[in-house]
Structures are given as C-alpha cells and as structure tokens.
C-alpha cells in the first residue's frame, strides 16, 4: 500500500527502513532518497514506525 504518493513510498518501504535503523520520519525519507513534499503522509509513516518499534502495544490493542 502506498503511504506517500508524492514519493511513491509503500508501507513495505517504511518497514524496511525501520529494519535498517530508521527511527524517525525524516530517517525514512533519507533512506528512500527523497524529501517530503506535501507531508500528508507523515502521520501514517509515524504510525508504521511505532508499530514496528513497539509491536506489543498493537497486539494488546488488537485483543
């Protein structure tokens, strides 16, 4: 699923960036070799980073 239309970044790209050490939205853009343009995707990217770095929080919420 595309999370950033301006830069064609998919959720999989964000998860891969986190696996490679990205901890902030800016890190994801840097790893993808682009910069935010409209910034509408920032909250979505931030949510994916949180999901990847604290998955137990989302498991409890799903129960």
Interface residue list for ligand FES (CB under 6 A): 4-7, 36-41
Kindly state the smallest distance separating residue 6's Cβ from ligand FES, in Å. 3
Q: Is the CB of 39 or the CB of 54 nearer to ligand FES?
A: 39
Q: Which of 28, 25, 6 is nearest to 17 (CA)?
A: 28
Give 20 or 37: the residue with its C-beta nearer to ligand FES: 37
| Rounded least distance, CB 59 to ligand FES, Å | 28
**What is the three-state SS of 1-63?**
CEEECCCCEEHHHHHHHHHCCCCCHHHHHHHHCCCCCCCCCHHHHHHHHHHHHCHHHHHHHHC
Closer residue to ligand FES, CB minimum distance, 22 or 41: 41
């Amino acid at each position: 699923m595309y999370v950033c239309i301006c830069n064609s970044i998919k959720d999989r790209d964000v998860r891969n960036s986190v696996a490679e050490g990205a901890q902030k939205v800016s890190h994801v853009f840097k790893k993808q070799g682009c910069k935010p343009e409209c910034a509408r995707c920032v909250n979505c990217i931030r949510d994916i980073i949180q999901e990847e770095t604290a998955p137990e929080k989302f498991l409890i919420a799903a129960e």
